[in-house]
């Protein structure tokens, strides 16, 4: 179809103009928006030279004119994607370096000559940086038309690469600074390298055919619902089945390869199919976010179910645009892969897309470009380029570390698991009185004013605040149909006073595990699942007491005294008492706090309320260790999404969140490290569980998408270790309940401390014998040896003994096992403050002592390998270290059939792949935490295929055991990074 006779126009200037339009190589979306601008320039009688690597049909399908000239050149590569949804940050930088940096001088020379040869009046850049510099060198004005810039996108990549390609970002910013101004499209990112900005409406390709014509051509009846699967021209890589679609639906598949055999209900589209017509003829779209898909979904009011790409900073801004206009529904990648599409499509079909802005951005941009070419626009004297780039780098860095950025991990708030957040906000969006869906954010923002703190875009925190908002709304209403915990919570907050909210995540033990109590280096990743605690303090006269608490105080014949009241949401599902209350005076004995031993007895009286020790114990520890006195009553609401008994530190997350809330409400300034140590006291001394400190440290000090590196002597944080872009960790629950309070964990810990005492005793004997020889002092070698043995005779932590010294001097000293009575007679005590030796029990010593010595070495090697150059050998070595750790656990007696089965499934998957033509996607697996069940940590490539293999392992495990494993995916900030929120109801609830 020729376009010269169209009625649209951009008023032609007195002279014919020549535009050189550079198009980035990143996806078809850029080419599709460029074609609409170019079309209007050609309609006005100008020549447009497109410099692009996209296929010709992307342009010629829409523009058939001799004034369109296409020159096949690639001057930037965009972001390199391992698959349709996975961006490889380091590969992107290296590819850009290869494409645009190494040949830069020759590129500039060639482009300057070419621009002069075509006598270009204006250079237009669709985000291609070097085009701006080439224009400046050629003495031609340049304008950019885009919604993002590569300096902003690459800023985070550079940080992930260890600043290896830092110069790339600065060079890109300097190139952009030569642009006269920016024509900015909706859904834009921060772009500080540009001097002046002109905003335009959406650039959207026009329709060629009606909905009815398209459906008739496809043979689809009017009453059939139609989904379009659109990944921006790329093959989706999905294994499609008929079950993916809801009943009565058909699906158009864009970008399918010729080899793909599609199941019934799926229709393969030609590669050069004109997608705007198909989008407008569809009822819903499913795919990844890009400017082209987002703009056309908005323009044609088509609900869009989207899946995020990781590490592409453009997405949050386009996502906001879609969600703001009720056009977007986010799907987690796991449900995309498994074909669990129906809930998302149903949700999308309930939306009412309401974009009412302009869609003629192509025409408006063309008019601006024409005016710029004849000298109408002049730049201001604003700072530009690298001088303002730092803001973009900082924002890009922070944006990528906002929780929920990982596409696999962010469970949309309307699709949250029913067991999370009070069990009330389960899968269905709430409907307003008019039948429309309520805005998720409006629930808590209408009810609460946030006086302090930042939600950090955490969906689980928003959900928790929404639950608080529901409590506030239901105050003094009939809540008889709600669970007991819910009714209790509505009654004990004073909704006119401030409420403090803290959050602490669980953790995935990547390396270190049970070696923490022996002083090892450990690597821990805070997981997505977290515990929230809402706390309010009130003067006893104003405190709302439950009736039985009122009766208790009346029986004592005294006035109001400080009371602690706790509600644990989800408690009834776990067969626990959902509420707990006590007079705070119960924690006092005269003018001093009660002993920890008495506290253990206090909380052990009622097994259904023993859980309260993890929460209330934080108050006793603060009283005992810091001398804090509590004069006010305290109400605490605890809501944890960290599954219990799976070895991911559900107890630590409760302790850290509880103590953080108490500290915030009472103005206590406690560092995250000190808070973690105090929380360990809660678990060791009040609860009575002999855990190390790594769980609490990870929950308090961790950071999203990083490994917390800590030497447990007792808790020295070495720093945060970046997880390389090509590496990913998962946790797969075995379904076998884990407990650090169990006999296995405790006996292994006793065995390790026994081994330490035996090594110290052996070293002391050796040192005594050597010192009895008179000439020892005359030999410097012997003197050095005596100094080494002297250090080992005073060994404080087993992990300070190196593997080679253990093998050389002590491996044969330690017995396989020893009974408690024999050990106590020979050594007196094992000097572990949190375990007791049973004289009648036998303890494995050699394996228990050997494990932390070698584990410390493995963790150090693992940490060093993480920072090495990406390669298959690197992943293989990391996986081997993880496997070694797993088998060392088994040698200690802390394995289980379930965890062994998962590790074997990973091995089968790894070797079945590596024996074929493809490299492995999964490389290693190990039991975690205290062992004896719980969760297995898996390491693999960060790719769609690895996600598919993890899901296959889940299915195989279920087939073998009947249990579908819980899958831990993703990360979130620790309590220290989160801080706390202080909220207050916006209006009186009376």
- Summarised one tens digit per residue, pLDDT across range 731-789 is 999 988 765 544 488 899 999 999 999 999 999 999 888 766 544 445 556 666 788 99
pLDDT for 546 equals: 74
Alpha-carbon span 973 to 970, nearest angstrom: 11
Picking from 733, 761, 792, the residue at the C-terminal end of a domain is 733
For the stretch 971-990, pLDDT in tens is 999 999 999 999 998 765 44
Tell which wins on pLDDT, 89 or 428.
89
Indicate whether 106 and 24 sit together in one domain: yes
Indicate whether 235 and 115 sit together in one domain: no
What average pLDDT score do residues 166-183 get?
87
Q: Are 83 and 232 in contact (CB under 8 A)?
A: no
In 3D space, the residue among 811, 833, 815 whose CA is nearest the CA of residue 823 turns out to be 815
Indicate whether 630 and 501 sit together in one domain: yes
Structure tokens, 237: 């890589």
pLDDT for 62 equals: 85
Residue 967 lies in a domain: no
Point out which residues pair with 499 in neighbouring strands: 983
What average pLDDT score do residues 462-476 get?
81
Indicate whether 133 and 228 sit together in one domain: no
What CATH number did the domain enclosing 58 receive?
3.40.50
Q: Is-catalytic flag, 695?
A: yes
pLDDT for 194 equals: 83
Structure tokens, 907: 């091995």
> Which pTM does this prediction carry?
0.76
Q: Are 418 and 427 in contact (CB under 8 A)?
A: yes
Indicate whether 461 and 396 sit together in one domain: no
Those residues whose C-beta lies under 8 Å from the C-beta of residue 738, and which sit 6 or more positions away, are 645, 646, 647, 929, 930, 931, 932, 933, 934, 935
For the stretch 45-86, pLDDT in tens is 999 999 998 888 888 888 899 999 999 998 988 888 777 777
Alpha-carbon span 798 to 737, nearest angstrom: 28
Residue 763 lies in a domain: no
Indicate whether 584 and 679 sit together in one domain: yes
pLDDT of 647 above 90: no
Alpha-carbon span 490 to 635, nearest angstrom: 11
What is the greatest pairwise CA distance in the chain?
110
Q: Are strands 967-969 and 727-733 parallel, antiparallel or unpaired?
A: antiparallel
Q: Buried (b) or exposed (e) across 811-824, using 16+ Cβ within 10 A?
A: eebbeeebebeebb
| Three-class DSSP labels, 441-481 | HHHHHHHEEEEECCCCCCHHHHHHHHHHHHHHHHCCCCCCC
Point out which residues pair with 940 in neighbouring strands: 728, 922
What CATH number did the domain enclosing 570 receive?
3.30.230.10
pLDDT of 279 above 50: yes
pLDDT for 327 equals: 93
Residue 440 lies in a domain: no
pLDDT for 83 equals: 73
Q: Are 714 and 691 in contact (CB under 8 A)?
A: no
- Counted domains in the chain: 3
pLDDT for 173 equals: 84
pLDDT for 784 equals: 66
Alpha-carbon span 762 to 9, nearest angstrom: 94
What average pLDDT score do residues 526-554 get?
85
DSSP per-residue string spanning 329-371: EE--HHHHHHT--HHHHHHHHT------S--BHHHHHHHHHHH
Structure tokens, 447: 């009810």
Helix, strand, coil percentages in the chain from 3-state DSSP, rounded to 5? 45, 20, 40
pLDDT of 548 above 60: yes
Point out which residues pair with 124 in neighbouring strands: 21, 143
Q: How confident is the model at residue 864 (pLDDT cuts 50, 70, 90)?
A: very high
Q: Name the residue range of residue 280's domain.
A: 211-357
pLDDT for 781 equals: 60
590: left (phi over 0), alpha (psi -120 to 50) or beta: left
Lowest pLDDT segment from 88-92, 163-167, 196-200, 961-965: 163-167
Sole residue written with tokens 């799976």:
646
Structure tokens, 576: 């626990």
Those residues whose C-beta lies under 8 Å from the C-beta of residue 842, and which sit 6 or more positions away, are 817, 818, 819, 820
What average pLDDT score do residues 91-97 get?
89
Alpha-carbon span 649 to 551, nearest angstrom: 37
Alpha-carbon span 567 to 486, nearest angstrom: 8
Give SS3 for 972. coil
% of residues, the chain, pLDDT over 90: 55
pLDDT for 196 equals: 84
pLDDT of 587 above 60: yes
For the stretch 337-384, pLDDT in tens is 878 888 889 889 999 999 988 999 999 999 999 999 998 865 544 444
pLDDT for 170 equals: 80
Sole residue written with tokens 């959050």:
503
Tell which wins on pLDDT, 430 or 515.
515
Tell which wins on pLDDT, 196 or 454.
454
Residue 726 lies in a domain: yes
CA gyration radius for the chain? 32
Residue 464 lies in a domain: yes
Alpha-carbon span 966 to 404, nearest angstrom: 18
- Torsions phi, psi for 918 (to 5 deg): -95, 150
Give SS3 for 681. helix
Point out which residues pair with 526 in neighbouring strands: 507
pLDDT for 483 equals: 59
CA dist list (Å): 611 to 385, 599, 650:
57, 13, 11
Indicate whether 187 and 224 sit together in one domain: no
What CATH number did the domain enclosing 233 receive?
3.40.50.2000
The four Cα atoms 398, 401, 405, 407 give a dihedral, to 10 degrees, of: 140
What average pLDDT score do residues 20-43 get?
87
| Three-class DSSP labels, 577-606 | CCEEEEEHHHHEECCEECCHHHHHHHHHCC
Indicate whether 287 and 349 sit together in one domain: yes
Indicate whether 633 and 671 sit together in one domain: yes
Indicate whether 243 and 191 sit together in one domain: no
Picking from 357, 391, 417, the residue at the C-terminal end of a domain is 357
The secondary element (H helix, E strand) that includes residue 922 is strand 922-927
pLDDT for 390 equals: 47
Alpha-carbon span 656 to 694, nearest angstrom: 12
pLDDT for 774 equals: 45
* Catalytic residue, candidates 151, 156, 695, 733: 695
For the stretch 634-643, pLDDT in tens is 999 999 999 8
What average pLDDT score do residues 823-837 get?
93
Mean pLDDT of the chain: 84
Residue 753 lies in a domain: no
Tell which wins on pLDDT, 347 or 935.
935
What average pLDDT score do residues 711-718 get?
90
Indicate whether 262 and 289 sit together in one domain: yes
Indicate whether 645 and 670 sit together in one domain: yes
Q: Are strands 284-288 and 304-307 parallel, antiparallel or unpaired?
A: parallel
Q: How confident is the model at residue 426 (pLDDT cuts 50, 70, 90)?
A: very low
Residue 892 lies in a domain: no
Point out which residues pair with 535 in neighbouring strands: 500, 636
pLDDT of 482 above 70: no
Point out which residues pair with 724 in neighbouring strands: none
Residue 895 lies in a domain: no
């Amino acid at each position: 179809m020729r376009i010269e006779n169209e009625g649209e126009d951009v008023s032609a200037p007195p002279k014919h103009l020549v535009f050189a339009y550079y198009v980035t190589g990143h996806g078809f979306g850029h080419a599709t928006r460029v074609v609409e601008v170019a079309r209007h320039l050609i309609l006005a009688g100008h020549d447009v030279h497109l410099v692009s690597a996209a296929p010709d049909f992307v342009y010629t399908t829409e523009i058939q004119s001799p004034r369109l000239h296409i020159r096949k050149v690639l001057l930037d590569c965009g972001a390199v994607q391992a698959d349709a949804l996975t961006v490889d940050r380091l590969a992107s930088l290296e590819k850009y370096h290869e494409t645009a940096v190494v040949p830069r001088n020759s590129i500039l020379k060639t482009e300057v000559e070419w621009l002069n040869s075509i006598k270009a009046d204006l250079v237009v850049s669709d985000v291609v940086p070097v085009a701006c510099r080439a224009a400046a060198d050629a003495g031609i004005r340049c304008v950019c038309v885009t919604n993002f810039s590569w300096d902003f996108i690459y800023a985070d990549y550079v940080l992930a690469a260890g600043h290896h390609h830092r110069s790339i970002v600065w060079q890109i910013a300097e190139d952009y600074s030569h642009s006269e101004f920016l024509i900015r499209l909706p859904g834009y990112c921060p772009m500080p390298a540009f001097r002046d900005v002109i905003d335009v409406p959406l650039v959207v390709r026009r329709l060629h055919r009606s909905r009815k014509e398209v459906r008739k051509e496809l043979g689809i009846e009017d009453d059939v619902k139609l989904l379009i699967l659109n990944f921006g021209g790329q093959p989706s890589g999905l294994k499609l089945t008929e079950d993916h679609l809801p009943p009565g639906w058909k699906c158009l598949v864009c970008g399918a390869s010729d080899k793909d055999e599609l199941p019934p209900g799926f229709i393969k589209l030609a590669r050069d199919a004109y997608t705007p017509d198909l989008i407008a003829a569809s009822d819903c779209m499913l795919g990844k976010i890009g400017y082209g898909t987002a703009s056309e979904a908005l323009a044609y009011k088509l609900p869009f179910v989207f899946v995020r790409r990781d590490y592409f900073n453009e997405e949050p801004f386009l996502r906001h645009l879609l969600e703001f206009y009720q056009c977007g529904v986010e799907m987690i990648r796991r449900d995309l892969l498994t074909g669990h599409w129906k809930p998302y499509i149903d949700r999308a079909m309930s939306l009412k897309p309401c974009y009412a802005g302009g869609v003629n951005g192509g025409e408006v941009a063309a008019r601006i470009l024409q005016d710029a070419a004849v000298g109408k626009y002049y730049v201001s004297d604003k700072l530009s380029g690298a001088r303002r780039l730092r803001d973009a780098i900082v924002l890009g860095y922070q944006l990528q570390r906002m929780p929920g950025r990982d596409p696999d991990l962010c469970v949309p708030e309307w699709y949250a698991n029913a067991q999370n957040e009070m069990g009330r906000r389960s899968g269905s969006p709430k409907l307003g009185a008019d039948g429309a869906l309520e805005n998720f954010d409006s629930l808590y923002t209408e009810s609460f004013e946030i006086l302090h703190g930042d939600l950090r875009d955490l969906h689980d925190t928003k959900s928790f605040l929404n639950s608080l908002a529901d409590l506030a709304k239901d105050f003094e209403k009939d809540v008889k149909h709600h669970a007991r915990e819910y009714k209790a919570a509505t009654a004990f907050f004073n909704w006119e006073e401030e409420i403090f909210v803290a959050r602490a995540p669980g953790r995935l033990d990547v390396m270190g595990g049970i070696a923490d109590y022996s002083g090892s280096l450990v690597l821990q990743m805070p997981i997505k699942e977290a515990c929230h605690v809402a706390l309010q303090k009130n003067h006893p006269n104003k405190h709302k007491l439950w009736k039985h608490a009122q009766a208790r105080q009346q029986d004592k014949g005294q006035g109001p005294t400080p009371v602690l009241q706790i509600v644990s949401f989800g408690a009834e599902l776990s067969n626990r008492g959902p509420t707990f209350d006590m007079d705070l005076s119960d924690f006092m004995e005269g003018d001093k706090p009660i002993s920890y031993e008495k506290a253990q007895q206090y909380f052990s009286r009622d097994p259904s309320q023993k859980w309260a020790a993890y929460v209330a114990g934080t108050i006793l520890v603060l009283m005992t260790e810091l001398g804090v006195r509590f004069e006010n009553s305290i109400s605490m609401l605890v809501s944890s999404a960290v599954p219990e008994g799976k070895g991911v530190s559900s107890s630590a997350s409760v302790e850290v969140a509880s103590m953080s809330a108490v500290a915030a409400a009472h103005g206590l300034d406690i560092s995250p490290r000190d808070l973690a140590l105090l929380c360990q006291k809660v678990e060791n001394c009040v609860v009575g569980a002999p855990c190390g400190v790594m769980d609490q440290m990870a929950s308090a000090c961790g950071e999203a998408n990083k490994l917390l590196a800590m030497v447990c002597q007792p808790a020295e944080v070495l720093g945060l270790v970046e997880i390389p872009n090509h590496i990913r960790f998962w946790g797969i629950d075995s379904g076998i309940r884990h407990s650090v309070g169990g006999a296995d964990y405790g006996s292994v810990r006793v065995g390790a401390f026994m081994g330490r005492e035996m090594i110290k005793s052996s070293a002391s004997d050796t040192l005594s014998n050597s010192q009895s020889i008179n000439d020892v002092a005359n030999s410097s070698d012997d003197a050095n040896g005596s100094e080494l043995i002297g250090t080992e005779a005073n060994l404080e932590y087993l992990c300070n003994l190196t593997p080679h010294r253990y093998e050389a001097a002590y491996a044969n000293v330690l017995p396989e096992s020893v009974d408690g009575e024999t050990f106590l007679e020979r050594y007196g005590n094992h000097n572990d403050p949190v375990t007791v030796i049973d004289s009648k029990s036998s303890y494995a010593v050699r394996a228990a002592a050997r494990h932390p010595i070698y584990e410390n070495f493995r963790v150090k090697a693992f940490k060093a390998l993480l920072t090495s150059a990406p390669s298959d050998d690197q992943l293989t070595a990391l996986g081997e270290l993880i496997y070694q750790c797993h088998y060392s656990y088994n040698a200690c007696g802390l394995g289980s059939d379930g965890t062994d089965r998962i590790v074997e499934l990973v091995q089968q998957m790894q070797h079945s792949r590596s024996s074929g033509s493809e490299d492995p996607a999964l490389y290693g697996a190990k039991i975690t935490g205290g062992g004896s069940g719980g969760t297995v940590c898996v390491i693999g490539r960060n790719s769609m295929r690895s996600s598919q293999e993890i899901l296959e392992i889940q299915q195989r495990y279920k087939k073998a055991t009947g249990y579908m494993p819980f899958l831990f995916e993703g990360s979130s900030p620790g309590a220290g990074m989160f801080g706390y929120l202080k909220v207050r109801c916006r209006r009186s609830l009376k």
